[in-house]
Amino acid sequence: MTGKTAFETRYGFRRDEVLLSNWRENPFNRWSFQNLGELVPTARVAATPGSVEAPARDLGGLLAEKVSIAGAPETVAEFLTRSSSDALTVMKGGKVIGDWFAPHMDFGARHIIFSISKSVTAIIAGILEGEGVFDPQAPVTQYFPEAAGSAYADASCRHVLDMSVSLDFEEAYLDPESAFARYRRATLWNPGGGTESLREFILTLQRLAEPHGETFRYRSPNSDLLGILLERASGQRFPDLMREKLWLPLGTVSEASIGVDMEGTARTAGGISVTPRDLARIGEMMRQGGTANGHRIVPEAWVRDTTVAGGSAEAWQRGTMVSLFPKGRYRNKWYQTGHENGAYCGIGIHGQWLYVSPRDEVVIAKMGSQPVPEDHALEGEIVAFFEALSRLM
């Protein structure tokens, strides 16, 4: 009889049990979300040469503080465990307050951020807009003429950025027979991929009868299309754009990665992996109005439009996520909460969050391995947790 390997002891299963067919399922996601490159093709985004991360900082007494999120008081540490969190980095006034990691994740490890990738991609769109390279008001077909026969034939880049394309597509995460499952095969995220590229899939999508721009519809292919539009506008591959325009100017310490399909098209809707500290750096750059390390990265006007002034309240009210943020808006792939603290955030399935509270000068990067892609009740609790945590500092 053989004993358990160190891997089995730590994660509770064998490495060879993690497959392309189950990598997003519990408990396998506790490992796979930190090791995307062992399951699907990825491209590197190198960090600042010679940079060294400051040591981890324990959240200390903050973990023992009580918060009342779902009725009964619980400690911060208890909530993190209950919400299937993998990592947490908290900043206040530009300083790292502390880090927390689940037993199955190490400090400095990369973790997939799923749809926060959309928010990161939109930052690069803002940078290119400021350089006069990308026009958000331009028709999609200006950069991607092949889209003339698709849902995007009469859509603008603004519609793509704000998820207001009238797209006949559903985010059916758990339906193996849906168009969403075909989409995931095109991204090489599900078994059976390799016969249709992401670009080819996007070109098959058709529109609804409603005009573009009227309703917020959360449709991930819009954000993969945005990556293609940015590549066409700039003449650069997305991983190179991310490194040149954001990763190096931000002063990141760790290499990032992004999933790619059979043609090398980046999965800009959900394939980026970063460390919690570097994710928090993105949030702090946004809190600082688009600057980091004394350098401007993205125009201040773009940050204000994204986090405060822009977005259609009417389109948001007609969408399906209004219960999360009843007074919210969506602009440039960031969520405005509509709360008194002026908070805004990027959100990814399975518990990925980048939360910024301007009033409290707080940035929170949270990574998770929740068992299901969406848990609407828990999402509301997580927002309440961030607000309570901000008040404790």
- Positions marked catalytic: 115
In angstroms, the CA 209 to CA 324 distance is 27
The residue type found at 303 is: V
Q: In angstroms, what CA-CA distances link 38 with 18, 35, 42, 252, 292?
A: 10, 6, 9, 23, 32
Q: Quote the CA–CA distance of 247 and 94 in Å, as a whole number.
A: 18
Please count the helices (runs of H) and the strands (runs of E) in the chain. 14, 15
DSSP assignment, residue 39?
T
Map tokens 């969050």 to a residue: 353
Whether the Cβ atoms of residue 267 and residue 259 lie closer than 8 Å to each other: yes
Whole-angstrom Cα distance, residue 341 to residue 64?
24
Q: Interior CA angle at 285 toward 60 and 42, to 5°?
A: 90
Coil, helix or strand at residue 133 = coil
What order of strands is seen across the sheet that includes strand 111-112?
42-45, 256-259, 272-274, 111-112
